[in-house]
Amino acid sequence: MSLTSPRRPPQGPSLAARLGQSRVALRIEDEMRVTAADLVDSVAEARLKVATVRYKVQDEVRSTTQKLRSRVSEARAKLVDEARFIRSWIDNPSRTGSVTPSSPALSRRMASFVDPALPGPVIEIGPGTGPVTEALIARGISEDRLILVEYSPEFCELLRRRFPRATVVEGDAYALSTTLSGHLNEKAIAVVSSLPLFNQPPAMRSALARDAFTLLTEGAPFIQFTYSVISPVPRKGSGLKSFVSDWVLRNIPPARVWVYRQTV
C-alpha cells in the first residue's frame, strides 16, 4: 500500500478571482462600448461638417455663377443699347445728341430732382433706351406714372417691352402739347429731358421750355442735362429761375444737370 497521498485535480480560479475578472471584463466592455459610441458620434459630426462645407461651397459657386451671368447679361444689354445709340446717331445726329446712353450716375442725378411723394405723372422726353426711366423708377416713381415721349420708332418699341406699364408716346417732343394730346389727363410734377437741345436754335429751345411749363403743376421742375458749360435753355427774358448741379464725372463725356422752375 502506497504511503503517498493521491494527487488532487488542479483547481480553477477561486470564486473571488472569477468575480474580479468578470468585473474587469464588464468594465472593459463598457469602456469599449462608450468609445465606439464616441467614435460613431465623431464620425457623424465630421460628416455633418463636411456636408455643411460642401453645401456652402456649392451655394457660393451658384451665387458667383449667377452674378457672373448677370454681369455678362448687363454688359451685353449695355453694348446692344450703345450700338442702337450709335446707329440712331448716324441716321439722325440732330435728334440723337450722344453716341452712348446716359450713365447710371447721370441718370440718378437727374432723377434725384423729382419728388416721388408728389402725386401726378412724370413726363420724360427723349428717353432713348431708358436709363433715366430706370433711375426714376428706382427713385420711387411707379412705372404707370411715367409718360415717355420718344421720336424713334425703334426706341419706342424697346421702351414698351422694357416698361410695359408706362405710357410710351411716339412723337415730336418739340411740339410737346400736341404730341401729348389725349395722353395727359392731369398736370405733371416734372418734365425730365435728355434731348440734345444744343442741336436746335435758341428760339426752339425756349419754345420747348415754355410749352413744357404749360403741362406742369405750379413750382414743378423742367430737368435737362447738358455737356456744355452754359445753360441749354436760354435764360435771358425767360422768366425762369435755374439751378445747376456739379459735374457728373462718371459719364462720357462729363455732364451737368440744369433744373428750371417758373418764377411766381
pLDDT tens-digit readout, 203-227 = 999 999 999 999 999 999 999 999 9
Chain-centroid distance of CA 156 in Å reads: 22
Residue with the larger pLDDT of the pair 133 and 28: 133
Same domain, 240 and 138: yes
Backbone dihedral angles phi then psi of residue 84, each to the nearest 5 degrees: -65, -45
**Would you place residue 56 in the very low, low, confident or very high pLDDT band (cuts 50, 70, 90)?**
confident
Asked if residue 74 is part of any domain, the answer here is yes
Contacts (Cβ under 8 Å, ≥6 apart) of 253: 227
Highest mean pLDDT: which range of 3-12, 14-23, 59-68, 107-116: 107-116
Same domain, 64 and 148: no
Quote the pLDDT of residue 96: 47
232 and 224 in contact (C-beta within 8 Å)? Answer: yes
Same domain, 146 and 238: yes
Name the residue range of residue 118's domain: 104-262
CATH number at residue 164: 3.40.50.150
Same domain, 132 and 239: yes
Asked if residue 212 is part of any domain, the answer here is yes
Domain final residue pick, 69, 91, 113: 91
Asked if residue 227 is part of any domain, the answer here is yes
User: Where does residue 120 rank: exposed (0-12), middle (13-18), buried (19+ CB within 10 A)?
Assistant: middle
Domain count for the chain: 2
Quote the cell numbers at residue 62: 451658384
Helical ranges in 214-261 per DSSP H: none
User: Where does residue 17 rank: exposed (0-12), middle (13-18), buried (19+ CB within 10 A)?
Assistant: exposed
Asked if residue 117 is part of any domain, the answer here is yes
Angle at 100 between CA 97 and CA 104, to 5 degrees: 115
Same domain, 86 and 193: no
Quote the pLDDT of residue 185: 93
The reply to whether the predicted model has a pTM over 0.85 is no
Between CA 85 and CA 101 the distance in angstroms is: 7
**Would you place residue 169 in the very low, low, confident or very high pLDDT band (cuts 50, 70, 90)?**
very high
Between CA 142 and CA 139 the distance in angstroms is: 9
Query: Greatest CA span in the chain, whole angstroms?
Result: 158
Mean pLDDT of the 187-192 span: 98
Same domain, 217 and 247: yes
pLDDT score of 180 more than 80: yes
pLDDT tens across 150-168, in order? 999 999 999 999 999 999 9
